[in-house]
Amino acid sequence: MPLKEKIAAGKFIILGEFEPPKGADFDSFITDANLVKGRVEALVVPEMANAVLKASSLGGCACLEREGIPSVFQVCCRDRNRLALQADILSAAALGVQNIMAVNGVETRFGDHPQTRTVNDLDLIELIETVQTLSQGKDLAGVELKGTPGFSVGSTIDAGAAGNLLDIEMERLEKMLENGVDYVITNPVFDLRRFEQFVKRVDTSKIAVLPTVLLLKSAGMARYIDRNMRGITIPPDTIRRIQKAPDKVQECIRIAAETIKQVKKMGLAGVLISTVGWESKLPSVLNEAQL
Protein backbone atom coordinates (compact mmCIF):
# COMPACT_ATOMS: atom_id res chain seq x y z
CA MET A 1 0.00 0.00 0.00
CA PRO A 2 1.49 3.41 -0.92
CA LEU A 3 2.16 5.81 1.98
CA LYS A 4 -0.62 8.13 0.79
CA GLU A 5 -3.24 5.52 1.60
CA LYS A 6 -1.71 4.64 4.94
CA ILE A 7 -1.63 8.32 5.85
CA ALA A 8 -5.26 8.70 4.80
CA ALA A 9 -6.15 5.68 6.97
CA GLY A 10 -4.78 7.63 9.95
CA LYS A 11 -1.93 5.25 10.69
CA PHE A 12 1.12 6.71 12.48
CA ILE A 13 3.72 6.31 9.77
CA ILE A 14 7.18 5.11 10.70
CA LEU A 15 9.88 5.48 8.11
CA GLY A 16 13.49 4.49 8.55
CA GLU A 17 16.40 5.97 6.66
CA PHE A 18 18.74 3.43 5.07
CA GLU A 19 21.76 4.68 3.17
CA PRO A 20 23.06 2.33 0.50
CA PRO A 21 26.69 1.24 0.93
CA LYS A 22 29.71 2.89 -0.60
CA GLY A 23 30.56 -0.22 -2.53
CA ALA A 24 28.88 -3.20 -4.07
CA ASP A 25 28.41 -5.20 -0.88
CA PHE A 26 24.77 -4.80 0.18
CA ASP A 27 24.84 -7.59 2.79
CA SER A 28 24.57 -5.52 5.95
CA PHE A 29 22.15 -3.13 4.23
CA ILE A 30 19.81 -6.05 3.59
CA THR A 31 20.40 -7.75 6.96
CA ASP A 32 19.71 -4.54 8.90
CA ALA A 33 16.63 -3.79 6.80
CA ASN A 34 15.22 -7.23 7.55
CA LEU A 35 15.53 -6.49 11.27
CA VAL A 36 12.76 -3.89 10.92
CA LYS A 37 10.71 -5.59 8.22
CA GLY A 38 7.04 -5.25 9.14
CA ARG A 39 7.81 -2.72 11.86
CA VAL A 40 8.25 0.30 9.57
CA GLU A 41 5.95 1.43 6.79
CA ALA A 42 8.85 1.93 4.42
CA LEU A 43 12.56 2.65 4.29
CA VAL A 44 13.76 5.89 2.71
CA VAL A 45 16.86 5.29 0.59
CA PRO A 46 18.83 8.56 0.21
CA GLU A 47 20.37 9.43 -3.11
CA MET A 48 24.00 10.18 -2.28
CA ALA A 49 23.25 12.24 0.82
CA ASN A 50 25.67 15.14 1.32
CA ALA A 51 26.92 14.60 -2.23
CA VAL A 52 29.05 11.66 -1.09
CA LEU A 53 29.26 8.82 -3.58
CA LYS A 54 27.24 5.76 -2.58
CA ALA A 55 25.29 3.15 -4.48
CA SER A 56 22.14 4.73 -5.87
CA SER A 57 18.78 5.08 -4.22
CA LEU A 58 17.20 3.08 -7.04
CA GLY A 59 19.66 0.21 -6.42
CA GLY A 60 18.89 0.25 -2.70
CA CYS A 61 15.14 0.34 -3.35
CA ALA A 62 15.37 -2.60 -5.74
CA CYS A 63 17.14 -4.66 -3.05
CA LEU A 64 14.54 -3.75 -0.45
CA GLU A 65 11.55 -4.44 -2.68
CA ARG A 66 13.04 -7.85 -3.50
CA GLU A 67 13.04 -8.56 0.24
CA GLY A 68 9.39 -7.49 0.47
CA ILE A 69 10.28 -4.29 2.32
CA PRO A 70 8.53 -1.17 0.95
CA SER A 71 10.93 1.59 -0.02
CA VAL A 72 10.93 5.31 -0.71
CA PHE A 73 12.94 6.18 -3.80
CA GLN A 74 14.77 9.51 -3.67
CA VAL A 75 15.07 11.46 -6.89
CA CYS A 76 17.55 14.30 -6.86
CA CYS A 77 17.95 17.36 -9.11
CA ARG A 78 21.70 17.54 -8.62
CA ASP A 79 23.04 14.63 -10.66
CA ARG A 80 20.60 13.76 -13.40
CA ASN A 81 18.95 15.53 -16.29
CA ARG A 82 15.28 15.21 -17.19
CA LEU A 83 15.87 12.15 -19.38
CA ALA A 84 17.73 10.20 -16.71
CA LEU A 85 15.27 11.19 -14.00
CA GLN A 86 12.23 10.12 -15.97
CA ALA A 87 13.91 6.85 -16.97
CA ASP A 88 14.71 6.07 -13.32
CA ILE A 89 11.23 6.97 -12.15
CA LEU A 90 9.66 4.61 -14.69
CA SER A 91 12.12 1.87 -13.73
CA ALA A 92 11.35 2.34 -10.05
CA ALA A 93 7.67 1.80 -10.74
CA ALA A 94 8.49 -1.40 -12.60
CA LEU A 95 10.57 -2.60 -9.63
CA GLY A 96 7.54 -2.23 -7.38
CA VAL A 97 8.49 1.03 -5.68
CA GLN A 98 5.34 2.90 -4.66
CA ASN A 99 6.82 5.89 -2.89
CA ILE A 100 8.99 8.62 -4.23
CA MET A 101 10.62 11.61 -2.63
CA ALA A 102 12.07 14.57 -4.51
CA VAL A 103 15.08 16.44 -3.14
CA ASN A 104 17.40 19.22 -4.33
CA GLY A 105 20.58 17.47 -3.25
CA VAL A 106 23.41 19.07 -1.29
CA GLU A 107 25.84 21.02 -3.48
CA THR A 108 28.60 18.80 -4.85
CA ARG A 109 31.34 21.05 -3.51
CA PHE A 110 30.47 19.79 -0.02
CA GLY A 111 30.78 16.13 -1.00
CA ASP A 112 33.64 13.79 -1.84
CA HIS A 113 33.69 14.55 -5.59
CA PRO A 114 33.89 18.36 -5.61
CA GLN A 115 35.36 18.32 -9.14
CA THR A 116 32.16 17.07 -10.71
CA ARG A 117 29.69 19.07 -12.78
CA THR A 118 26.28 19.47 -11.22
CA VAL A 119 23.26 19.04 -13.44
CA ASN A 120 20.22 20.83 -12.01
CA ASP A 121 18.39 20.54 -15.31
CA LEU A 122 15.11 20.54 -13.37
CA ASP A 123 14.61 22.34 -10.09
CA LEU A 124 12.80 20.74 -7.17
CA ILE A 125 9.34 22.01 -8.04
CA GLU A 126 9.85 21.04 -11.68
CA LEU A 127 10.97 17.57 -10.63
CA ILE A 128 7.82 17.14 -8.57
CA GLU A 129 5.83 18.37 -11.56
CA THR A 130 7.61 15.74 -13.66
CA VAL A 131 6.54 12.93 -11.32
CA GLN A 132 2.99 14.19 -11.62
CA THR A 133 3.19 14.40 -15.41
CA LEU A 134 4.44 10.80 -15.61
CA SER A 135 1.69 9.71 -13.25
CA GLN A 136 -0.78 11.16 -15.72
CA GLY A 137 0.57 8.89 -18.43
CA LYS A 138 2.77 11.33 -20.35
CA ASP A 139 6.44 12.21 -20.39
CA LEU A 140 7.80 15.76 -20.35
CA ALA A 141 7.74 15.83 -24.14
CA GLY A 142 4.02 15.11 -24.02
CA VAL A 143 4.40 11.63 -25.45
CA GLU A 144 2.08 8.94 -24.15
CA LEU A 145 3.61 6.26 -21.90
CA LYS A 146 3.04 2.54 -22.12
CA GLY A 147 1.93 1.92 -18.56
CA THR A 148 1.50 4.74 -16.07
CA PRO A 149 3.49 4.80 -12.83
CA GLY A 150 1.66 5.61 -9.61
CA PHE A 151 3.46 6.99 -6.61
CA SER A 152 2.88 8.55 -3.29
CA VAL A 153 4.97 11.71 -3.62
CA GLY A 154 6.99 13.37 -0.89
CA SER A 155 9.60 16.07 -0.53
CA THR A 156 11.49 17.94 2.15
CA ILE A 157 10.87 21.12 4.08
CA ASP A 158 13.05 23.16 6.43
CA ALA A 159 11.34 23.20 9.79
CA GLY A 160 14.13 25.32 11.24
CA ALA A 161 13.36 28.28 9.01
CA ALA A 162 12.34 31.44 10.81
CA GLY A 163 11.01 34.86 9.87
CA ASN A 164 11.35 35.73 6.24
CA LEU A 165 12.76 32.28 5.41
CA LEU A 166 9.77 30.58 6.94
CA ASP A 167 7.52 32.58 4.60
CA ILE A 168 9.59 31.26 1.71
CA GLU A 169 9.25 27.68 2.96
CA MET A 170 5.49 28.14 3.16
CA GLU A 171 5.48 29.46 -0.38
CA ARG A 172 7.37 26.37 -1.50
CA LEU A 173 4.95 24.14 0.38
CA GLU A 174 2.10 25.80 -1.50
CA LYS A 175 3.80 25.03 -4.83
CA MET A 176 4.39 21.43 -3.74
CA LEU A 177 0.73 21.05 -2.86
CA GLU A 178 -0.28 22.39 -6.26
CA ASN A 179 1.85 19.64 -7.76
CA GLY A 180 0.40 16.79 -5.80
CA VAL A 181 2.89 16.27 -2.96
CA ASP A 182 1.35 14.04 -0.28
CA TYR A 183 3.89 14.35 2.51
CA VAL A 184 6.93 16.38 3.51
CA ILE A 185 9.81 15.30 5.69
CA THR A 186 11.50 17.94 7.81
CA ASN A 187 15.14 18.25 8.85
CA PRO A 188 16.02 16.70 12.22
CA VAL A 189 13.95 17.96 15.14
CA PHE A 190 15.13 18.00 18.75
CA ASP A 191 13.45 21.06 20.18
CA LEU A 192 9.76 20.19 20.05
CA ARG A 193 8.62 23.54 21.39
CA ARG A 194 10.28 25.34 18.53
CA PHE A 195 9.00 22.73 16.10
CA GLU A 196 5.43 23.36 17.25
CA GLN A 197 5.73 26.96 16.04
CA PHE A 198 6.56 25.64 12.59
CA VAL A 199 3.74 23.10 12.55
CA LYS A 200 1.24 25.83 13.44
CA ARG A 201 1.95 27.47 10.08
CA VAL A 202 1.14 24.31 8.11
CA ASP A 203 -2.32 23.05 7.24
CA THR A 204 -1.66 19.44 8.19
CA SER A 205 -5.06 18.39 6.89
CA LYS A 206 -3.77 19.09 3.37
CA ILE A 207 -0.26 17.72 3.66
CA ALA A 208 1.29 15.17 6.00
CA VAL A 209 4.32 16.43 7.96
CA LEU A 210 6.86 13.86 9.10
CA PRO A 211 9.70 15.24 11.21
CA THR A 212 13.05 13.53 11.06
CA VAL A 213 14.12 12.06 14.38
CA LEU A 214 17.88 11.70 14.29
CA LEU A 215 19.53 9.14 16.54
CA LEU A 216 22.43 10.99 18.18
CA LYS A 217 25.62 9.04 18.82
CA SER A 218 27.40 11.16 21.39
CA ALA A 219 27.36 14.48 23.18
CA GLY A 220 30.09 15.62 20.78
CA MET A 221 27.93 14.91 17.76
CA ALA A 222 25.03 16.75 19.39
CA ARG A 223 27.18 19.78 20.09
CA TYR A 224 28.54 19.78 16.57
CA ILE A 225 25.07 19.66 15.02
CA ASP A 226 23.78 22.35 17.34
CA ARG A 227 26.62 24.68 16.43
CA ASN A 228 27.06 23.99 12.75
CA MET A 229 23.85 22.83 11.16
CA ARG A 230 21.59 25.62 10.14
CA GLY A 231 18.04 25.42 11.37
CA ILE A 232 18.72 22.65 13.92
CA THR A 233 18.93 23.40 17.63
CA ILE A 234 19.53 20.81 20.31
CA PRO A 235 18.46 21.85 23.80
CA PRO A 236 21.44 21.99 26.23
CA ASP A 237 19.56 19.64 28.55
CA THR A 238 19.64 16.93 25.90
CA ILE A 239 23.38 17.30 25.45
CA ARG A 240 23.93 17.22 29.21
CA ARG A 241 21.81 14.07 29.52
CA ILE A 242 24.09 12.22 27.12
CA GLN A 243 27.20 13.53 28.85
CA LYS A 244 26.06 12.32 32.25
CA ALA A 245 24.55 8.99 31.25
CA PRO A 246 26.49 5.85 32.23
CA ASP A 247 25.32 4.10 29.07
CA LYS A 248 25.50 6.82 26.43
CA VAL A 249 24.24 4.72 23.54
CA GLN A 250 21.18 3.70 25.50
CA GLU A 251 20.58 7.32 26.47
CA CYS A 252 20.70 8.39 22.81
CA ILE A 253 18.18 5.68 21.97
CA ARG A 254 15.97 6.88 24.80
CA ILE A 255 16.14 10.50 23.60
CA ALA A 256 15.12 9.49 20.08
CA ALA A 257 12.28 7.34 21.41
CA GLU A 258 10.98 10.18 23.58
CA THR A 259 10.98 12.55 20.61
CA ILE A 260 9.02 10.02 18.57
CA LYS A 261 6.44 9.68 21.32
CA GLN A 262 6.04 13.45 21.54
CA VAL A 263 5.62 13.73 17.78
CA LYS A 264 2.90 11.11 17.97
CA LYS A 265 1.22 13.05 20.76
CA MET A 266 1.24 16.18 18.59
CA GLY A 267 -1.02 14.32 16.19
CA LEU A 268 1.41 14.42 13.27
CA ALA A 269 1.29 11.85 10.49
CA GLY A 270 4.48 10.05 11.42
CA VAL A 271 8.26 10.23 11.67
CA LEU A 272 11.37 9.43 9.72
CA ILE A 273 13.96 7.84 11.96
CA SER A 274 17.48 8.51 10.80
CA THR A 275 20.21 6.39 12.35
CA VAL A 276 23.16 7.44 10.12
CA GLY A 277 25.30 4.33 10.18
CA TRP A 278 23.62 2.79 13.24
CA GLU A 279 20.85 1.12 11.25
CA SER A 280 21.20 -2.03 13.36
CA LYS A 281 20.02 0.01 16.36
CA LEU A 282 16.73 0.95 14.73
CA PRO A 283 14.86 -2.00 16.36
CA SER A 284 15.99 -0.79 19.81
CA VAL A 285 14.67 2.71 19.06
CA LEU A 286 11.33 1.21 18.02
CA ASN A 287 11.22 -0.97 21.17
CA GLU A 288 12.00 1.97 23.39
CA ALA A 289 9.25 4.02 21.67
CA GLN A 290 6.88 1.08 22.10
CA LEU A 291 6.20 0.90 18.39
Partner 1 sequence: MIVAKRKPIEEIIEEVQAYDKILLVGCNECVTVCEAGGKKEVAVLASALRMHFMNQGKEVKIDEITLERQCDHEYLEELRNQIDQYDVVVSLACGVGVQFMAEKYMNMPVMPGVDTCFMGVTEERGVWSERCQGCGTCMLAKTGGICPVSRCAKRLFNGPCGGSTNGHCEIDKNVICAWQLIIDRMKNLDKLEDYEALVPIKDWSTERAGGPRKVVREDVMQ
Answer yes or no: are the C-beta atoms of 155 and 181 closer than 8 Å.
yes
Q: Nearer Cβ to partner 1, position 34 or 118? A: 118
Q: Nearer Cβ to partner 1, position 29 or 195? A: 195
Q: Nearer Cβ to partner 1, position 99 or 186? A: 186
The helix/strand/coil state of 7 is helix
Answer yes or no: are the C-beta atoms of 5 and 30 closer than 8 Å.
no
Least distance (Å) from partner 1 to the CB of residue 66?
33
Q: Nearer Cβ to partner 1, position 124 or 286? A: 124
Closest by CA to 291, choosing from 271, 277, 268, 267, is: 271
Report helix angle 82-94 to 124-135, nearest 10: 50
Least distance (Å) from partner 1 to the CB of residue 176?
10
Least distance (Å) from partner 1 to the CB of residue 41?
25
Query: What is the Cα Rg of the chain in Å?
Result: 18
Least distance (Å) from partner 1 to the CB of residue 134?
13
Q: Nearer Cβ to partner 1, position 39 or 175? A: 175
What is d(CA 237, CA 243) in angstroms, rounded to the nearest whole number?
A: 10
Residue type, 199: V
What is d(CA 192, CA 35) in angstroms, rounded to the nearest whole number?
A: 29
Binding site for partner 1 (CB under 8 A): 77-78, 82, 104, 107, 109, 118, 120-126, 129-130, 140, 156-158, 161, 165, 168-169, 171-172, 174-175, 178, 230-231
Closest by CA to 36, choosing from 262, 281, 223, is: 281
Closest by CA to 22, choosing from 277, 274, 273, 282, is: 277
Q: Nearer Cβ to partner 1, position 48 or 69? A: 48
Least distance (Å) from partner 1 to the CB of residue 156?
7
Least distance (Å) from partner 1 to the CB of residue 237?
26
